[in-house]
Structure 1
Amino acid sequence: MKLLNTEIKNAVLESMIKYLDQDRDAIIAANKKDLEAFDRDDQALYDRLVVDNAKVDDMIRAVREVKDQKDPVGGVISDDTLANGLRIINKTAPFGTIMIIYESRPDVTIEAAVLAFKANNKILLKGGKEAHASNEELVKCWHKALADHGLGEEWIQYLKMDRPTTQEFLRNPDQPLDLIVPRGGERLIQFVKEHAKCAVLVSGRGNNFAYIAPDADMEKVIPVIVNAKTDKISGCNALDKILVDKNHPNYSQVITTVESILSEKGVEILGTDDTLKDLNTSEKIDSEDVWYEEFLAMKAVIGAVDGLDGAIEFINKYSGGHSNIILTETKDDADAFMQQIDSAAVYHNASTRFTDGGQMGVGAELAISTDKLHHRGPLGLKQLVTNKYYVHGEGQIRK
């Protein structure tokens, strides 16, 4: 793969900023076609699909932020000279070709492509059928920006495929693939893992938990819980499950207060055998499967646990490994929770809604990885490179 210099890459991104602004009416019009064809029964998916002027402005901001970041390719990780005279330099290097499979969100067509391109990767964009018109209009902008600087469309390709065609492509791709990132639900992830012939980096489900410890400060608990649950229900960083410690001195009051505040915000509350007696709702979780479920809806479960260790064990069993919170005033308990909870992000007295590239200082993100290799959390520009060893010698041989 040809390595592009930083000036050319940034010039392409500057052109992309121009076309996004210049063609915003066409982009929004294309999106309107997608919205009109979409079944609004799935409100979370519909919200992700919408592109308006504010969303185009966000796309422009994302491209500009990546343009202004340092080029991640060719950075020196280490530079050592061994006793035998070999000089060994470890540098960052592009992956090659990345494929991303995603649903609904047209802004991924911008964020994924800008990150991959600045990191000198080619990218194949497999968007969902519900966003085809929007994605095709955005990819036109990319291709015009590339053409302005003598680069071909192969750098950023849009794959308009149905499920059987995608399946066959994963089995027998018509070009080398180095990494696939599926962004979506469990079925999509399993589908890709089953058929892919290269590395797969999972952007997993949310299903995030909050644990309210016995000494939790309710003045912090309520705003954190409300924000994490209601700020954006379609986000993978939204809260789904709330666990109240049975040892809280005001256990019943905490449960009723949390329910009351969330119900006022329009959240449907489900209870458990431990909590229903203190809740106004009569809705009970009907299966253990609910504990594994990511709701993406105005719905939450309020359950109970016995102690910090019980909370850690419970969350590690059921959560999606994305983002989890402890609400406590005891630093040692917070430290133990944060060290032992197995998720990409752990929070002490703060909302899960901060698990986002922009909010965490990473900038635009390809996805939130819940895998442990090669990176966990927001996949930003620095994370879209691998490494390569450059070994310089003067005729050395191994004896």
Structure 2
Amino acid sequence: MKLLNTEIKNNVLKSMLKILGRERQHIIEANKKDLDAFQKEDQALYERLIVNDKKVDEMIEAVKAVMLQDDPVGQELTNRTLKNGLNIVNTTAPFGTILIIYESRPDVTIEASVLAFKANNKILLKGGKEALNSNLILEKCWHEALEENGLSKDWIKLLHLKREETQAFLKNPTEPIDLIVPRGGEQLIKFVKTHATCAVLVSGRGNNFLYVSEHADWSKAVNVIINAKTDKISGCNALDKVLINKNLPEYEMKLKMLQEKLEKHKVEIIVDDKVSDVLSKKETVSDNDIWYEEFLALKLLIGQVNCLDDAIELINKYSGKHSAVIITEHNDEAMNFMHNVDSAAVYHNASTRFTDGGQMGVGAELAISTDKLHHRGPLGLNQLVTNKYYVYGDGQVRV
């Protein structure tokens, strides 16, 4: 796609702000059709699908925030002149075309598009069928904003493909694709990795762990656990597993206290064999595969560990490498945990719910990357560019 200047891109976003405000009720009405057709057995997916006044406000705010950010394209990273006189400038550049595959959330149709477009990328949107009506009206809004400013609708395009058609498209795209971001569960990620022929940046899977050290402030631990588990069960930054050090003072009493607090929030508790000695009436782990599972529900697995190293080993084996927490008053222990746990975000005495572009100061995000290349964590505006070398010479040849 053509390299656009910042003014043109921001004018499209100004148009989009006006259009979203004008079409607010039509967007909510289209979303109601999706909600009415949805089978509500998956509560997390249903929550992600909802678009109300608050959600439209958030869409508008996301567009406004990206519009006010500096253009990430054409930023000089390094500039050096060699002995032979060559001037080599490393500069940020667009990826080209990004394909994002996501389930349910219509707000992704806004956030992914505004970020990709401001970074001068074309974006192909493959939303779930459960959000079809919502996504169609949001695509229409984007197309109006683009055409109002003399640009092609091809910058932002919704793909209408069934599963088999998506598989075929990934294997043999009808146009060049530079990056695919699957934003969803383990099955979606495996599907994309199996069939894609270009770079894939993995995002979406949580299965986040929290370790309570024997040096923990118990009040902090309980507050963080409750928030991370119950604040938003559909978030990939929600908590799924808690590991408690067996040497925690008043261990049994505190376990029972945690059970009581969780049950007040209607959280289903599963325990390992050791914790079941204390919480004997709770369901016990029968299959170790549950340690790999992202619950997306009011459900929490509690296990016992002997020491910090055991906690680190378990987390690195089973977690989704998204977010992990240690609750401790010992800073050295916290740093040991944070250095050695292999997650995109590691926390000391704070909730996993902060793994979010807005909460981390990045702004709107395309996704949370759990990959290590080219970026890990929130994929904000500045992460949707690659780099390009500009080499200026005066007839130099290599000898």
Quote the RMSD (CA, aligned, Å): 0.7
1:52 and 1:98 map into 2 onto residues whose CA distance is: 28
Deviation at residue 255 of structure 1 after TM alignment: 1.4
2:51 and 2:266 map into 1 onto residues whose CA distance is: 25
Aligned pairs for 1:126-275 within 5 A? 126-275=126-275
- 8 Å CA contact retained: 2:59, 2:107: yes
- Cα deviation code 1:65-95 (max 9, x no counterpart): 0000000000000000011100000000000
- List gaps (5 residues or longer) in structure 2: none
4+ residue runs of structure 1 moved beyond 4 angstroms? none
What amino acid is the match of 2:54?
A
1:368 and 1:143 map into 2 onto residues whose CA distance is: 27
Deviation at residue 250 of structure 1 after TM alignment: 1.7
- 8 Å CA contact retained: 1:255, 1:302: no
Deviation at residue 182 of structure 1 after TM alignment: 0.2
Classify the secondary structure of the residue corresponding to 1:74.
Answer: coil
Classify the secondary structure of the residue corresponding to 2:30.
Answer: helix
- List gaps (5 residues or longer) in structure 1: none
- Cα deviation code 1:80-127 (max 9, x no counterpart): 001110000000000000000000000000000000000000000000
Greater Cα shift, 256-265 or 107-116: 256-265
**Is residue 395 of structure 2 the alignment partner of residue 368 of structure 1?**
no
Deviation at residue 280 of structure 1 after TM alignment: 5.3
Aligned pairs for 1:203-352 within 5 A? 203-279=203-279, 281-352=281-352
What amino acid is the match of 1:41?
E
1:282 and 1:316 map into 2 onto residues whose CA distance is: 26
Deviation at residue 370 of structure 1 after TM alignment: 0.1
Greater Cα shift, 376-385 or 204-213: 204-213
1:121 and 1:204 map into 2 onto residues whose CA distance is: 21
What amino acid is the match of 1:244?
I
Q: Which residue of 2 is the match for residue 100 of structure 1? A: 100
1:353 and 1:386 map into 2 onto residues whose CA distance is: 28
CA pair 222-341 structure 1, distance change in 2 beyond 3 A: same
What amino acid is the match of 2:219?
E
Deviation at residue 215 of structure 1 after TM alignment: 1.1
- 8 Å CA contact retained: 1:204, 1:320: no
1:394 and 1:282 map into 2 onto residues whose CA distance is: 76
1:285 and 1:4 map into 2 onto residues whose CA distance is: 55
What amino acid is the match of 2:334?
A
Deviation at residue 321 of structure 1 after TM alignment: 0.1
1:97 and 1:34 map into 2 onto residues whose CA distance is: 28
Aligned pairs for 1:28-107 within 5 A? 28-107=28-107
Deviation at residue 11 of structure 1 after TM alignment: 0.4
2:127 and 2:19 map into 1 onto residues whose CA distance is: 21
Deviation at residue 389 of structure 1 after TM alignment: 0.2
2:371 and 2:354 map into 1 onto residues whose CA distance is: 19
- 8 Å CA contact retained: 2:204, 2:367: no
1:333 and 1:251 map into 2 onto residues whose CA distance is: 19
- Cα deviation code 1:256-305 (max 9, x no counterpart): 12111111110000011100121153311220010000000000011001
- 8 Å CA contact retained: 1:269, 1:281: no
What amino acid is the match of 1:289?
D
1:63 and 1:389 map into 2 onto residues whose CA distance is: 30
- 8 Å CA contact retained: 1:268, 1:298: yes
1:303 and 1:257 map into 2 onto residues whose CA distance is: 15
- 8 Å CA contact retained: 1:183, 1:204: yes
2:50 and 2:342 map into 1 onto residues whose CA distance is: 33
- 8 Å CA contact retained: 1:245, 1:307: yes
2:102 and 2:280 map into 1 onto residues whose CA distance is: 39
Classify the secondary structure of the residue corresponding to 1:33.
Answer: helix
Deviation at residue 254 of structure 1 after TM alignment: 2.2
- Cα deviation code 1:198-229 (max 9, x no counterpart): 10000041000110000100121111110000
Deviation at residue 172 of structure 1 after TM alignment: 1.1
1:358 and 1:287 map into 2 onto residues whose CA distance is: 37
What amino acid is the match of 2:47?
D
- 8 Å CA contact retained: 1:270, 1:281: no
1:282 and 1:324 map into 2 onto residues whose CA distance is: 24
What amino acid is the match of 1:6?
T
2:200 and 2:266 map into 1 onto residues whose CA distance is: 38
Classify the secondary structure of the residue corresponding to 1:396.
Answer: coil
**Normalised TM-score (structure 1):** 0.99
Q: Which residue of 2 is the match for residue 110 of structure 1? A: 110
Deviation at residue 160 of structure 1 after TM alignment: 1.2
2:315 and 2:176 map into 1 onto residues whose CA distance is: 39
**Normalised TM-score (structure 2):** 0.99
Deviation at residue 249 of structure 1 after TM alignment: 2.1
Greater Cα shift, 94-103 or 279-288: 279-288
Greater Cα shift, 243-252 or 346-355: 243-252
Deviation at residue 152 of structure 1 after TM alignment: 0.6
Classify the secondary structure of the residue corresponding to 1:266.
Answer: coil
Classify the secondary structure of the residue corresponding to 1:199.
Answer: coil
Q: Which residue of 1 is the match for residue 356 of structure 2? A: 356
2:259 and 2:205 map into 1 onto residues whose CA distance is: 24
